[in-house]
Every structure is written in structure tokens, then in C-alpha cells.
Structure 1
Amino acid sequence: MNCFLRTILLIGLFFGTLNLVHSQTTPIELSKNKVVVGGKSYILHVVKEKQTLFSISKAYGISMRDIMSVNGKAEATVSINEVLRIPFNEEKQAVAPVILKKEDEKFIYHIVKKDDTLYSLSKKYAVGMDLIEKENPGSRQSLPLNSVVKIPKIQQQKDHKVSNVPQHDKKYYYYVIKAGDTQYSIAKEFRMKQKKLRKLNPKLKNRILKPGDWVRIPRYLVPPEYFIVKETPKDTIAEELIVLDTIQEVEKEEVIAKTKVNVGLFLPLYLETNDTINQIITYKDTIEIVTEREPRTIYRKSREFIRFYQGVLLAVDSLRKEGLSVDLHVYDTERDPEKLRRTLSQIQFMDFDYWIGPVYPKTFAVAAEYARRKNVPIISPLSAKNPQINSNPNVIQLNTSMNSICRQISNYVSEDFQYKNIVIIHPERYKHLNEAKLIKDIEHQLFEKGLYWQTDEVSYKKISFDEYGLYGMEAMMCDSCENVVVLPLNDQPKVENMITNLNVLSQRYAIRLVGFSRWQRYTSLEADRFYNLNFSLFSPYFIDYKEEKINDFVIDFRNRFMSEPSDFSFRAYDICRYFSLAASKFGKDFPERMNELDIELLQSAYYFKRVSAFGGFENQGTHLINYSRDYKIRHQVFKPKEKEPEENETVDLLEKSFGL
């Protein structure tokens, strides 16, 4: 099986030429992707536009000659998207530049540290972002660690006093004017038109604002980090108290129930088919000669499930390092219920802590019934529709159902409804759709619970796109508030048509589009449209490639399997780790106590609820993902409420999640 699971990591090298012009280089973002080749460590760097071999060598502190030698280059040229191997020395640490002068008459010289942004430097030194960018071209796009930023010195009037700035409220953010700010720079910073800025702040028409004055900005246009206030430590005198003759209570760690768990993994690997297609049969004097194809090919239906299996293997390795032994039993189910029945009859006397899979409905139904009789927890890793969950208490469904997603979206829309214009855009015939439950849930929240009547600062509208089209949608929009637009459908052509038209309206109106995670897979929808429409969605899965744990997993996966992990690989890793630790800690009762387990996952959000008194568990933990207008993707793990809120009690989900 080992030779079957081997695949080859191919790094494409594209040939092209970039001129070596020092003055046209852009800031280099250092890569964290490391590989080991022939016992030597290398960093893989992907060449971006306007980067040169000179600028790359300077960024990594490696000579051009060494980079050329490692990559077999005869000339000092690179191509866009070319992957370079950069020699890496574990003992060599990146050193910040030595600055002889921290400041002079014109500038303060700041060394970039982790989490520094153009905005944070603007706030720290009370200098407009435009002025900093003017002296440091490209700083708005990126600020490389340990690079030096020149901060212009602005002469401030000593007798100047800061005006009283109002507290931010649900409708407005109050921006304090800094030296160098202009109407144009403020409007550009918050992605709004100057005309709208002047309309919200009439004082801009009559006088020029000075540092310390303030203007109000619609809250929905302001990124969440603007609301974060860093507290400056105050000078305090620490008083040391020494208490004698006391006994400190030491919390006892919970005893691990088991140090070994048995796991059954049922996947359609199609091993026999893979062996068959990799055999070459020839004849010599009527004698059949069987040779193996080189390189081996993989049957297309088993590719993703091999990636799933590889993710499980990495999880088993990580658990072993933590002291937990996982006895993994892998069974090839293909897509054949009869083959699965034969397999189950052979393992009927084995004792399992839990099963993962099968993945197809017909085979899962067979295994779920057997797991119910044997009282074995069985995990459905991929499907969001398992009829067995309603009557089988052993079933654990990881994909959140459409009903639960609709409920979460309706809560999200209706719990922050003040100063909003809620617009439902639907096809002419929609009541038969599963997603139509979303409309019922929103109307239930607003009208049957009475939220709509509690304030005059909300509007609710509903329109058929098929009947009224673009002009009908525009008639529903509000100029002076945010338009929360909900599309309750997943039909690809209709969704693409509606989003295309909404993208046109986003040039004039502030729109927050709310929908489903499936839309992200529609290849004809460009990401720019999601950013323009401030798209928000709920999904059980989210991978943030900026996180160190994700990069570590990718590197481990490459080193182990010589290939790239897929979405299934991340998912399998989370499943195996989470449920193995749960079975180890809580024993046979782990399904009832799964929510007590607090471990860091790669892409999943877990929070389980039993669907009925006699049914199984559904995962209702999700990520609230937002494609923001400032071209950033933000996410927040979202868990359902344990109980309904009291009357007049509302939870400002937007504010908690994104600071909006």
C-alpha cells in the first residue's frame, strides 16, 4: 500500500526574464515554507511581480551567487511565479538593521515589528497615512519585518487642544483628524466618496479641519481594527505581599481514561482498481508477463480519499508524540454496500472506540445500523444529509445541515438590524427550495418575535429578481444606511446573475451580501465581487494560510507524502485528533461530553447538539467569514446560543465578531 500512496511533488519552473533594476523592486514578504532536499534545508520562495534576484537575495540575506548555484542558474534572472530554493541555515537568525540615528530634523526612523501596519504607525506617531506612504512607497501594501520606515515630523501647535470626540455608536465611527489628513485622504481611507463625507460632516464645507478635530464615518465602512484601543500601561507601585504558613491548592489534572484508542476508517480507496490500472500485461511465447507501470497512476475516484487518509496518518503521528497511541484499521469500502457487509462480518468481534465513514449514503446507512447495534459512535465526515441521524443516537454528523445554516444566517441578520435596510432577493419560484427556510426564519425573528416593531431604524423588503431585475433591486436600496442583502438560493446560474447585478449597485450603495459557502466554489464569480459586496457567510470549515499551524501542517504533509494537502487532508487531521482525544479523555461516554474538549483545530469549528431525544449529534459550530471591502478575509468561530435571549436582550453579533 505504501507504494500505492506515493505521489510526486512537482515544482513548475517557468522560463522568462526580468531585468535586474534595483529601483523597481517591491517589498519582499519572506516565505515560511521549508523543504528538506538531500539532507539540506531550503525555503521555497515564489517570485512576484517586480521582484528581482538582487532584491530576493537582500531580503533573505543570501548572496546571489549561492541562490543561482542552488537553482542551477547561469544568469541572474527570474520569472514571475518561479519557485526558488533559498538556502536556509537554522543557526542564522534574521537581524534587525542597526540605525545610527533614531531620528533627525525631518524624520523618525521606525523598525517594523510584528503586527505593525500603516494605520498603527499613523496612530502611534499622529501622522497621516498618506504622508507616511509618500516617504515610503509601497508601505500601504506591505511592511516587511525589520525594514525601516521614515516617519515625517509634523510641527504641532503647542497651544492646540483636542476637541471633545464623541463615543462611537452603532451608527457612526468618529475619526480624529491627524496632521497631513485631507478630505481626499480620509475618503480614500474609508472607501467612500468625498461628496458623502461632506454630506455627513457639513462643517467640512465652511472651514479646514485641524488636527484634533473629528469627522463621523458610517460604522459599516470602518474596518474592525479601528475600534481596538490599546491601553497604555500606567505607572504603578507594585506592593509585594508575602503570606507565610499557607497551603496552596494545586489543581489536579483529569486522569486520561485511555492511552490507546482503536479507530475504524472506512473509505472508498478502490485499491483493486488502482492495482489493475497500474499493471502492464505482455505475452512471450503464450506466457503472461505482468509488470508494474512507472510512474504509477491513481484512479480518479480515489484521489481525494487518499488525501483524506494521509491527513489521518499525520494526526496519528502527532497524537503518538503526545503519548496517545492510535490503532488505526483501514477498510476499503469502494461504493459497494455488499462488500461493506462482508467486511463488517469479519470485524464483528473487534472492539472500536469510534468509526470514521463510510462517506457515501448507501454504504453509510449499512455501517450506521451496524454501529447502532454494537453501540459504536460513527462519524459522517462529508455529508450534510444523513437520514440516520434522526433515529440513530450513535451518528455524529460533521457537516452542518442547511436548516442549521439558515437559522444561523437569520440570527446574524436580525440581531443587528438597527440602521439597516434588509432586502430579500429571490427567484420567482422559491418556496420549494431548501434555502427558502431562510426567509421564514428571518421573518419569524423580525415579526413573530417583535424585533421589527421595537425600533423605527430598520427596513425590511422582499423582491423577485426574475420579475423586476436590476432596476427593481435598485429601487429597494437605501442611500443613507447599509443594505443587508440576502439571496436564499444556491442555484449557480441565478446566483451568478444576481451577484453580477448587485456588483453594479455596489458602486453607489453600501451593500452587505449574506449567503452560502457554496458560492465560493463558483469559478465564474471573481473574488473582487465578494469584496465589493462585503460578502458574509457561515461555514463549518475555514483555512487561514497566514497561521503558523497551517504552514507547519503543509510542510509536514509535503515532507511525508511529497504532495500538496487538499481540503480533505485538513478535515481528516482535525477529525482524527479531536475524536481520538475525546475517546481518550472521556472513554465510552465521549459523545455526550464532546463540547467539553477544547483543542486547537486546523480548519474545523466543532460544537455538537443532539437533534432529538432519540437521534444523533449534528455539528453546529461554524466560522463566520467576511470578505471585507478593504480586501481582507476575516473569520470568527461562531457557536449557537444555549438558550433563547430574554425579551429586550439582543446580542450584537457584528460588533462581537468584527467590531462593526
Structure 2
Amino acid sequence: MLKHLSVLGFAVLFGLNTINAQNYSTHHVKKGETVEALAKQYYVTPSQIYALNPDAKKELKPNTVLIIPISKSTKPEIVETKELVGFKPHRVKKRETLYSLTKEYEVTEEEIKKHNKFLYANPLRKGDKLQIPVYKITKKEKENDAVTTYIVQPKEGKWRVAYKFGITLQEFEELNPNIGDSLQVGQQVYVPNIEKVERKTIDDQYSYYTVLPAEGFYRLKIKLGLDQEALETLNPGLKESGLKVGMVLKVPYSAALSGEPENGLSSTDLTRKITDFSTKHIAVMLPFRLNRVDYDSVADTKRSIKKDPYLNASLDFHSGVLMAIDSLKKLGISLKVDVYDTKHEISEVSRIINNNDFDNVDAVIGPLTSNTFEKAATELRRTNTPIISPIGTNLRLYDNVFQSRPSDNLLKSKIINYVKADSTAKNIVVVSDAKHTAIANELKREFTYARLVYSRKDKDGNDAGYVTTSDIQSVLKPGKNYVFLETQNEGLASNVTVLLNSMHQTEAPKNGIKPIEIVLVTTNFNSAFEGDEVSNEQLSNLHFHYATAAKSYNEIDKNTFVRSYETKYGITPNKRAVKGFDLTMDVVLRLVSSENLYASVNQSPLTEYVENKFAYNKELVGGYYNNAVYVVKYDDLNIVVVE
């Protein structure tokens, strides 16, 4: 028994030493003490004590040991007051001095002289009769509590005040229980009484994120793209305190998080913010590969265009660029535009940049392909010239790079979070083929209660590309069912949509049970869902949802761009032409409404055009990526935006 006790004692001692090393102390609970009283005694909040001592929420037992965080609050000073209550006579003896009398009677030399004024002019002599003052001494703490009042400044919401004083939103609300939903300028609130030099400042070059319940470093990495080390670097003290619900974290600038962390964004119409009418110089790099075109005849030229996918894509994109230039000129914007044929060759990109003056180019759009774009971005880093990729994803984000196409991971996260946000969702089903097992397992981690269905195998063990009625029926439930379909196999997509349509109910059965409502979703919209085997009518019946970088413009509305394009080219614009228009409009309008493209990221967080929207986030170290995507759904044979 003694051995066990000694081991336990060692463990406790070791633990307490570790705690003390991390700026914590301990308190032995006495009978009658409360957490609220201890919080005031140690200049912390009750939440800080509960965070380290969860059992204290149930009961605070005497003789238990609490872990107490060492507060940064200003500790009170001890103030001593003296009250004169009388005098004591004293006859000076041989060898006595004023100094020895101060020690004997615990008074100062000045206090003795004050009541024996002859000592100001004469030295102390043997036989002198003195009146020694007698004081009543009272010691008490100087008024300086753990909390103090603070006046809310303009643009300050709860999270800003909480961040400034190093507490969580929950702790701020505990200090101010009747605060209401929002703060008003000039409002008086309670905050920790810390020194002004310890208060944090809000840096508008960064964004701020409020930690949600059950969010750890893993979830934050998925959501914010920052690992634990990066978060701890940006937030000194996080390593010691750990993540806490309601904690406000400083993160690299993100358009989606700008302003109040909990607020969404509305798009900015940059045509109303034009302030700079000086000539802007942009360059466009596209792989036309005109050196490969056969010009012997019109038929040969047309044949060359049809055969070359790079030339085809470049012409479509360039047609949109030309439409944008027209529109910008009508707004009074002066432009110089250089268009270069990269020939889809890295060496040609180098030649173009080295043989032309890019020092005064405000922005470069393109090249289209990843290897040529990488070369151009590297070369243009020397002059810090911003370069925008029209279609690339997962690029190396140098500090001058803007990735305008949202990443596949962002699209996936968007649709997952959309489903999570639906409080009416009762059942999650994931149907996938063998090639998409990884995403099926990831969805299972996101929705722990999800049911998995894999496509059947043939006799050789290969994926057969279908599921059966019983496979689906066994996992559906009355009420709302979200069914994730993860495949690039058109046959499986057709098979699953047919089965789901046969089971989807719009009216409740006569037995009174809720109808089986099915909503089809996918994290990766691809050609399998657009093939001839898949019925758009069935997708509409299932309200098929997915995340996309670009919505489809409504042909019925016939916006100005579409009408102008049809008039000029005699056809409706495809997605590449629309992207050329949207991207050129955005780049130039950002240049004429901000100091430069980099500054526009903060000054114009979200912009939106015909099919595309742009909300650039900055990497912790590096360039910018577009964080703006749509969630759309099939509805009555149309594709409409739902978020």
C-alpha cells in the first residue's frame, strides 16, 4: 500500500511541477469555498477554472486540489494607513540616537521631529524629553479588481473586444451576462484588468476566426488550411492554453472571414468604385499555337482549329477577353493590352518575358497550362508582377500568384458543410465505386452515422459498376435522406439515379409513416453526371446538389454580355468565353478601384460577374487563391444557385 501511495505521490508531484512550469498554480479547496469566489481571488474567470477542472462543475469538494491558471490581470497593491492615536513620553538615555529610537518605536525620524520641533535645529542630547507618536496601522488591498470597465470603440463587436483582452467569447459573455446580441459604440462593458501593453490589436491585413464546439487542430486544418504549428505561430500563447471554444484566432487574410467572423459577405460592384482613370497595362498569355495552323485554305484553317484543343480553348477565352475590353472602355477605363502566343512551350514563355518590358505591366492573365504558368510566375517574381491563372488548381502559390479557380478540396468542403448545416437532415448515405473508396471513408469520418454502399463486384472481383435495389432500400429511412454519389462511371451514375427515383416519395404512405425524401449530392461533379445515360429529369426529381466554381447563367434573362456576345459572334458564349470575360473584368476593375491588385484583396473582398465570383484568400506564406464557390441544384430542369 505504501508503495502505491509513493508512486501516486510522485505522479502528483511530477504533474504539479509540469503545471507550474506552464504558468499554472494549485489551490486546496476549503469547506464553503465556491468557484466564483476563487475566480475573484485569483483574478481569473470561472470558465478558466472549469476548463482545467471539469469535475468542479458538478461539485466543489473540500480537500480537493484545483488547477488555477496564473492570471495576467494586474494584482492589487497593499495600501498601509497610519492613524495618530496618542504619544508615549521618552527621556533620552546615553548613546541613544534618532536612528535607534526609530527602530525601538517603529516610527520614522521625520515623525519624531514633527512632534519634537526643537530637533530640527538641535542635535539629540542625553536627558531630552520626547513625545513619541503612537499610530494605529491598518493594511488593506488597494482597489483594483480582476476586471475593469471598457468603453466600446467604433467597429468593435464582441469578438474584437474578446480578442483584444485575450479571452474567449464565452468568457466575455460571462463577464457581461446582460450584454445582448451586439455591442454599441460607447457602451460600457467589463473586461479583464490587464495592462494596456498586453492588449492585442486587430490587424486588418489578417482575418479572425472563432473556434466552434468540438473543433480541434485537425478540423481547423481542413477548414482553414493551417496546421497546428502555423496557428501557434500566428497566435502566441495558443501552445500553452490549447484550443478553447469561443477562442478568437488570428489567421491569414480570408475574404470569407473578413469583417465579423460570424458574418457572411455581400458582393461588391466595382463599377461604382472606379477612382483611377490612368491607363492600365495588362498582358494576356494563351497557347494559340498559331505556328501549327494550316493557312493554305479556309477549310484547312478551320480543320486546324478543330483539331487543336489548345487553340480552340484559347480562341474561346480570348473572345471573352475582347468582350470585357469593350465593356471596360464604355466605363471610361483606358487600357493597354498585350496578347502573347505561348505556343504551349516553356521556352517561349521565357522568350516573351525576357524580350518585352514587363516592369510596368499591372497584371498578367494566363498562361492556361500549369507548366507554362509556373515558368511565367517564376520569371515575374523579380518585378512582383501579379499573375492570374484562369483554370489552374493546386498551383505553387508564389507571392505574386492569384489562383482564380477554386480548388477541388474547397468544392468538396463546401458541399459537405452545406449538408451539415441542414438541421432537417436525418440520414446520410454514401454510394461509391471502388475507385472512390477514399472519399467514401472521408465522408464517413465527417458523418459518423452515415451508411456506406459500394458498387457490386463481378465474378473476377472487379468493380461491376452497379448497385441493387436491396442495397439502397436497406439504408434509406423515412424522412429526409442525403445520398452522396461518388463516381466517375456514367453507368453507375445512371443505375443509382434510376433506383433512387423509384424509391423517392413525394407523399406520405397511407400507414402514416413519413415519406422517404431523397436529395442526391456529390463532392465531385464530373462528366458522369452529364452523360447521355443520366436523365436530367431524374436529377431534377432528386434535387441533385453539388458545389461548383461557376454557376450557369440563365439564358432567359439574356444579360448584357450574353446579348452582346451573340450579336458579335452569332453564337451563345460557352464557359471558357464567360471565364475570359469575368476574369478580365475582375482584374481590371480591381486595378482601377484599388492601389493595386494586392490591395484589392482586402478592399474588395467579394466580386461577382456573369458566372464566376472571386474572393481571394492569402496563404500564410505565398500568394492568393479564390475561396468563392457556389452550391447549385437541379430544379425543374434548370440549375439554380442555392448558396
Q: TM-score, normalised by structure 2?
A: 0.50
Alignment of 1:148-187 (within 5 A): none
- Residue of structure 2 aligned with 1:341, choices 347, 350, 365: 350
Q: Distance in 2 between matches of 1:546 and 1:564?
A: 9
Q: CA deviation at 1:414?
A: 1.3
Alignment of 1:462-481 (within 5 A): 462-466=452-456, 469-478=468-477, 480-481=478-479
Q: Distance in 1 between matches of 2:548 and 2:531?
A: 16
Q: Distance in 2 between matches of 1:492 and 1:425?
A: 14
Residues 1:506 and 2:504 are matched in the alignment = yes
Letter paired with 1:482: K
CA 1:295–1:334 in structure 2 vs 1: closer, same or farther (change >3 Å)?
closer
Q: Distance in 2 between matches of 1:334 and 1:463?
A: 46
Q: CA deviation at 1:535?
A: 0.2
Q: Distance in 1 between matches of 2:520 and 2:342?
A: 41
Give ranges in structure 2 of 5+ residues lacking alignment.
1-271, 458-466, 507-515
Decide which structure has the larger Cα Rg and report it.
2
- Residue of structure 1 aligned with 2:560, choices 549, 552, 556: 552
Q: CA deviation at 1:441?
A: 5.5
Instruction: Provide Cα deviations, 1:330-376, integer angstroms capped at 9, x if missing partner.
Output: 00012111122111111245411111111112111111111222211
Is the 2:608–2:614 contact (alpha carbons within 8 Å) kept by the matching residues of 1? Answer: no
Q: Which residue of 2 aligns with 1:524?
A: 533
- Residue of structure 1 aligned with 2:402, choices 378, 393, 396: 396
Q: CA deviation at 1:562?
A: 3.8
Residues 1:267 and 2:257 are matched in the alignment = no
Residues 1:427 and 2:424 are matched in the alignment = no
Instruction: Provide Cα deviations, 1:225-278, integer angstroms capped at 9, x if missing partner.
Output: xxxxxxxxxxxxxxxxxxxxxxxxxxxx9672453211110111122223xx12
Matched residue of 1:263: which SS? Answer: strand
Matched residue of 1:466: which SS? Answer: coil
Q: CA deviation at 1:567?
A: 1.3
Alignment of 1:605-644 (within 5 A): 605-610=613-618, 612-628=619-635, 630-636=636-642, 638=643
Q: CA deviation at 1:589?
A: 4.8
Q: CA deviation at 1:597?
A: 5.6
Letter paired with 1:474: Q
Q: Which residue of 2 aligns with 1:536?
A: 545
- Residue of structure 2 aligned with 1:278, choices 295, 308, 312: 295
Is the 1:407–1:441 contact (alpha carbons within 8 Å) kept by the matching residues of 2? Answer: no
Instruction: Provide Cα deviations, 1:66-116, integer angstroms capped at 9, x if missing partner.
Output: xxxxxxxxxxxxxxxxxxxxxxxxxxxxxxxxxxxxxxxxxxxxxxxxxxx
Matched residue of 1:534: which SS? Answer: coil
CA 1:405–1:298 in structure 2 vs 1: closer, same or farther (change >3 Å)?
same
Matched residue of 2:468: which SS? Answer: helix
Is the 2:432–2:485 contact (alpha carbons within 8 Å) kept by the matching residues of 1? Answer: yes
Letter paired with 1:404: L
Is the 2:359–2:383 contact (alpha carbons within 8 Å) kept by the matching residues of 1? Answer: no
Is the 1:260–1:584 contact (alpha carbons within 8 Å) kept by the matching residues of 2? Answer: no
Letter paired with 1:461: R
Matched residue of 1:279: which SS? Answer: coil
Is the 1:304–1:566 contact (alpha carbons within 8 Å) kept by the matching residues of 2? Answer: no
- Residue of structure 2 aligned with 1:418, choices 418, 424, 440: 424
Instruction: Provide Cα deviations, 1:364-396, integer angstroms capped at 9, x if missing partner.
Output: 11111112222111111112232x12xx12221
Is the 1:421–1:484 contact (alpha carbons within 8 Å) kept by the matching residues of 2? Answer: yes
Letter paired with 1:481: G
Q: CA deviation at 1:533?
A: 1.6
Alignment of 1:300-449 (within 5 A): 300=306, 301=308, 302-386=311-395, 388-389=396-397, 392-428=398-434, 430-432=436-438, 436=439, 439-440=441-442, 443-444=445-446, 446=447
Q: CA deviation at 1:623?
A: 1.8
Is the 2:411–2:549 contact (alpha carbons within 8 Å) kept by the matching residues of 1? Answer: no
Q: Which residue of 2 aligns with 1:461?
A: 451
Instruction: Provide Cα deviations, 1:409-467, integer angstroms capped at 9, x if missing partner.
Output: 111111214352111112245345xxx1x7526634x55xxxxxxxxxxx632222336
Is the 1:399–1:619 contact (alpha carbons within 8 Å) kept by the matching residues of 2? Answer: yes
Q: Distance in 2 between matches of 1:408 and 1:526?
A: 25
Is the 2:403–2:626 contact (alpha carbons within 8 Å) kept by the matching residues of 1? Answer: yes
Q: CA deviation at 1:531?
A: 0.8
Q: CA deviation at 1:507?
A: 6.0
Q: CA deviation at 1:511?
A: 1.0
Q: Which residue of 1 aligns with 2:260?
A: none
Q: CA deviation at 1:324?
A: 0.9
Letter paired with 2:547: F
Instruction: Provide Cα deviations, 1:190-244, integer angstroms capped at 9, x if missing partner.
Output: xxxxxxxxxxxxxxxxxxxxxxxxxxxxxxxxxxxxxxxxxxxxxxxxxxxxxxx
Letter paired with 1:627: Y
CA 1:383–1:443 in structure 2 vs 1: closer, same or farther (change >3 Å)?
same
Q: CA deviation at 1:587?
A: 2.4
Q: Which residue of 2 aligns with 1:581?
A: 589
Q: Distance in 2 between matches of 1:522 and 1:398?
A: 27
Is the 2:587–2:597 contact (alpha carbons within 8 Å) kept by the matching residues of 1? Answer: no
Q: Distance in 1 between matches of 2:429 and 2:393?
A: 28
Q: Distance in 2 between matches of 1:351 and 1:491?
A: 49
Q: Distance in 2 between matches of 1:489 and 1:296?
A: 36
Is the 2:365–2:390 contact (alpha carbons within 8 Å) kept by the matching residues of 1? Answer: yes
Q: Distance in 1 between matches of 2:533 and 2:597?
A: 47
Matched residue of 1:476: which SS? Answer: coil
Q: CA RMSD in A?
A: 2.7
Q: CA deviation at 1:298?
A: 5.0
Q: Which residue of 1 aligns with 2:6?
A: none
Is the 2:364–2:387 contact (alpha carbons within 8 Å) kept by the matching residues of 1? Answer: yes
Matched residue of 1:440: which SS? Answer: helix
Instruction: Provide Cα deviations, 1:453-487, integer angstroms capped at 9, x if missing partner.
Output: xxxxxx63222233663311111111x30110012
Q: Distance in 1 between matches of 2:603 and 2:473?
A: 45
Q: How many residues are aligned here?
A: 349
CA 1:608–1:254 in structure 2 vs 1: closer, same or farther (change >3 Å)?
closer
Is the 2:415–2:631 contact (alpha carbons within 8 Å) kept by the matching residues of 1? Answer: no
Letter paired with 2:534: L
Is the 2:274–2:592 contact (alpha carbons within 8 Å) kept by the matching residues of 1? Answer: no
Letter paired with 1:469: T
Q: Distance in 2 between matches of 1:491 and 1:373?
A: 45
Matched residue of 1:484: which SS? Answer: strand
4+ long deviations beyond 6 Å:
292-295
Matched residue of 2:436: which SS? Answer: coil
Matched residue of 2:589: which SS? Answer: helix
- Residue of structure 1 aligned with 2:486, choices 488, 493, 501: 488
Q: CA deviation at 1:547?
A: 5.7
CA 1:426–1:293 in structure 2 vs 1: closer, same or farther (change >3 Å)?
closer
Q: CA deviation at 1:577?
A: 0.6
Q: Distance in 2 between matches of 1:602 and 1:589?
A: 21
Instruction: Provide Cα deviations, 1:558-583, integer angstroms capped at 9, x if missing partner.
Output: 33234442211111111011110101
Q: Distance in 2 between matches of 1:295 and 1:269?
A: 13
Is the 2:346–2:371 contact (alpha carbons within 8 Å) kept by the matching residues of 1? Answer: yes
Is the 1:377–1:591 contact (alpha carbons within 8 Å) kept by the matching residues of 2? Answer: no
Q: Percent identity?
A: 22
Q: CA deviation at 1:554?
A: 2.5
